[in-house]
Homo-oligomer: A and B are copies of this chain.
Amino acid sequence: MRVLGIVVEYNPFHYGHLHHLRESIRLVKPDYVVAVMSGNFCQRGEPAIVNKYARTKIALLNGVDLVLELPTVYAIQDAGGFAVGSIGVLHKTGVVTDIVFGSESGDIDFLKRVAHTLVNQTPEFQAEFKKQLKMGFSYPNARKYALMGTLSDDVAKLSKSNDILGIEYIKALMQYKSEIEPHVIKRVGADYNDPEFKGRLSSATAIRKVVKAGQFETIREAVPPATYEVLREEFEKGRGPVFWEYLEFVIAVFRKMKREEFEKIYSFNEGLDLRFWEAARQTGDLQQFVELVKAKRFTYSRIRRAILHVLFDLEKEKMEKSNTLGPQYLRILGFNTKGRELLREIKKKSSVPLIATASLYKQVLEDVEKQQAEGKREWQVDGDLYIWQFEKDVLASDIYSFLYPNKSVRSAGMDFEQQPVML
């Protein structure tokens, strides 16, 4: 049995995603396709344009068999943490045999060599890396320059986001000692954050921009019919589009905080706490806030993610533990008939609990701990971390629904009220 795993955000699902999905299937010829998908907040540090259930439905309508949620605490991390979470979910299903990801280089062996160099760091590499960071370069750039001195490959090409992420996927596979086979598909079409609308070749960024400009009909040529229809329904109900700017109130929250309170939050180091504290006092405009915080070593995405880390109270200790142990559950967002079959396999083989009905999350943990105690099955779950990670997903959803354009549908609790999407 071959099971293809893919890591997605689908914000929103467009023809580039469809191409990737079809090419991956052609390459691996899997019996099942499982996608691990960001929930209500994405890696760019932004709320998704529509909620995770709507995006799940679109994924299923386009050929994915099962959608599992990437826990929020990983979805809004840099490439490293994002990979630990997403590969962790796929690996811990116990059934995924292959993953395929997009790559600008299209050279899996090159990416493996880089990943290997990064995992087995020589002292020379480490010294060079630190030097570059000290010079003020952002994490990915400092790493690239440090690699240049270590590998004979043309490392310069490592500035592309898919390759950077791909290396992290391979590193995460190594971290989990996973036997999943990684493959790459050479990316075609728009860069993922190319802001220009190019019809069928438009990036998700470009599509969101068009929606924001109030030209929803225009995206019809850039997305499969299912995307268009589901988005239309969501927008009609006032559950979207949700944009990052709606989070502007965080500035008021930041004004309540002392510098020391920032320091406890993940990603606040290298002086980011002071920059946040000062910028929140200087402006009441979220875009300008980010501009004020911006520095060579702080990318826009990192700043936007750090905003969410504060909003969700993601303290350092728990985040580091999360990055060491990986995700503590598999959360089902939706499935089709084949996905239902696959779930039966996962139920037998997964190393962490499977959550189908969110309201039972504590019960699920108790059952698993009981099985463990009785020696019936070997689970790998940290109870505290399981609760913490899951409750952060719930909190993220409750903040997300507050951002809905239509005030009358902003109630909290979507995780508990909505069942997995079944097709």
Contact = CB atoms under 8 A, between A and B. Distances in A.
Interface of A: 249, 251-253, 255-256, 280-285, 288, 311, 313, 395, 398-399, 401-402, 404, 407-408, 410-413
Contacts of A411: 281-284
Nearest to A253: B253
Closest 6 CB pairs of A and B: A284-B410, A249-B249, A281-B412, A285-B407, A255-B398, A252-B402
Contacts of A398: 255, 281
A313 B280 contact: no
B281 A413 contact: yes
A251 B395 CA distance: 13
Contacts of A283: 407, 410-411
With a 10 A CB-CB cut-off, give which of A252, A281, A407 has the most chain B CB atoms. A252
A308 to B, nearest CB: 12
A31 to B, nearest CB: 41
A235 B256 CA distance: 26
B407 A256 contact: no
Contacts of A410: 251, 283-285
A284 B407 contact: yes
Nearest to A404: B284
Contact of A255 (B281, B402, B408): B402
Contacts of A404: 284
A255 B395 contact: yes
Contacts of A281: 398, 411-413
A286 B406 CA distance: 13
Given A281-B411, A285-B408, A411-B282, A399 B249 contact: no
Contacts of A249: 249, 252
Contacts of A282: 411-412
A249 to B, nearest CB: 3
A153 to B, nearest CB: 46
A187 B149 CA distance: 84
Contacts of A251: 402, 410
A252 B399 contact: yes
